Structure 1
């Protein structure tokens, strides 16, 4: 299986071209750039560069995989639009994954997990005293909850009394709230972001989308159409 994976959900843009060989996913080429804006300008060139470096033609792809959120509204839309366009042009199945699941996969690779009674929680600062949060067991493919938008205090109670290992930009706040409740919790990897290489490794286990791939938004957009601003029509 030839795989193209990419992520644009937060403050980075990453692309990975990989190949599944005898049950293992082998990375052929990858790139990542860090920025708050500029995903629209860089994503397609980065995909082209990675495909060229891997020596792979777009017609050879068997799976396109992209993060679908939660994340920034603009970044998430850019990634999904690119995935849908490439899938349509190449007739390649496309699959989506939670950005938090990809972060969990990265975290497990860096930290090592699997202690009995231990849960991994990816917590990303969503501002307003809230976090995007999702619970996992042994990695990104072992979700123990759906992606959620919760107040920090509510996130601290997820998973009952299990030891909580938190990663992401919201990890410290949730860990502090959990500890104030008497729960064992620790925060790690505050700068963690999704990485397309982890997404590529997950790709063979993610079912392709049966319909049009859509974004996972956990909060409505801040920008809303103005009400009552229409100019009255001149009477004839």
Structure 2
């Protein structure tokens, strides 16, 4: 992880919401921040770049003044992640600025942290399933993972929550579920919040040494990749066809 300073652009397209934040950082503190959201899963490609441009105009900032770029690595929407990473790579290449990638679910969970409370972030994985990850925000202000990023059904996720927090009415006071998912009814009666400010949270977590620093990596531009979790489903038609025509090469890889 590198020290963030100057103007940092954060962006995330892992859910139905395009989340963008432009922050000025000095001595490890956010001194100024502008945030933009566009809630339309079908229009990441149309809305992301205008959203970024609007924040630079609001900050009266030239794009060349950017110091680094942060991008949510998912897991999440395959198409959304490709668009977000495409934008981050394009800006990084054009401006010769570093890219830092972080877990989108970690950033989503950050919105619901309370001392001594478990937080579970989830987003739509299709097929009646959730991408999810869970944390405990301890009394020492430490951010500890209790559920690794993965895919679970609503029933399986509720069972994980019960296992980690106990059952009964007391559990509802100790659990927050942050959703980047259109249907939160499956997860009642837990305290459900909508996960929106993912880009801003990516930046905040990177500045918090107790958060989850292993999630954040300065990545070589040529090797930066989203965390699809379902890598086969994320492959293009051309990639799948090439594997069918040359299965031995796929097995060797």
The reply to whether TM is greater than 0.5 is yes
Corresponding pairs, count: 211
Deviation, structure 1 residue 141 = 6.0
Question: What is the alpha-carbon distance in structure 2 between the residues aligned to residue 11 and residue 125 of structure 1?
Answer: 9
Q: CA deviation at 1:23?
A: 2.4
SS of the equivalent of 1:38 reads helix
Aligned counterparts of 2:55 and 2:202: Cα–Cα separation in 1 = 15
Query: CA offset at residue 67 of structure 1?
Result: 0.9
> Which of these residues, 168, 192, 217, is aligned with residue 228 of structure 2?
217
Q: Is the contact made by 1:27 and 1:197 (CA closer than 8 Å) also made in structure 2?
A: no
Q: Is the Cα contact below 8 Å between 1:68 and 1:96 reproduced in 2?
A: yes
Structure 2 residues without counterparts, runs of 5 or longer: 166-170, 209-215, 242-253
CA distance in structure 2 between the partners assigned to 1:213 and 1:46 by the alignment: 23
Largest Rg, 1 or 2: 1
Alignment of 1:154-165 (within 5 A): 154-158=156-160, 160-162=163-165, 163=171, 164-165=175-176
Q: Which runs of 5+ in 1 are unaligned?
A: 177-185, 228-236
Secondary structure of 1:59's match?
helix
Does the aligned pair in 1 maintain the 2:76–2:123 contact within 8 Å? no
SS in 2 for 1:64: strand
1:28 to 10, 33, 56: 33
Note the C-alpha offset of 1:75: 1.0
**What secondary structure, in the 3-state scheme, does the structure 2 residue paired with 1:158 have?**
helix
Structure 1 residue 173 corresponds to structure 2 residue 173: no
What are the residue-to-residue correspondences of 1:58-73 with 2, within 5 Å?
A: 58-73=63-78
Over aligned residue pairs, what C-alpha RMSD do you find? 2.8
- The equivalent of 2:93 in structure 1 is 88
| Cα drift, residue 66 of structure 1 | 0.9
Structure 1 residue 52: Cα displacement: 2.4
Q: Quickly say closer, same or farther: Cα 1:35–1:141, change in 2 above 3 A.
A: farther
The secondary structure found in structure 1 opposite 2:76 is: coil
Q: What is the CA–CA distance in structure 2 between the aligned matches of 1:34 and 1:58, rounded to whole Å?
A: 24
Q: Following the alignment from structure 1 to structure 2, what is the Cα–Cα distance between the partners of residues 14 and 197? A: 8
Query: What is the distance in 2 between the residues matched to 1:222 and 1:94?
Result: 22
CA distance in 1, matches of 2:88, 2:236: 26
* Alpha-carbon distance in structure 1 between the residues aligned to 2:236 and 2:69: 32
What is the aligned counterpart of 1:47 among 49, 52, 56?
52
* More displaced stretch, 90-99 vs 135-144: 135-144
TM-score by length of 1: 0.76
TM-score by length of 2: 0.72
Is 1:145 the counterpart of 2:147? The answer is yes
For 1:201, the equivalent position in structure 2 comes to 204
| Counterparts of 1:140 and 1:106, CA distance in 2 | 15
Residues 17 and 41 in structure 2, CA contact (< 8 A), matched pair in contact too? yes
Distance in 2, matches of 1:213 and 1:86, equals: 13
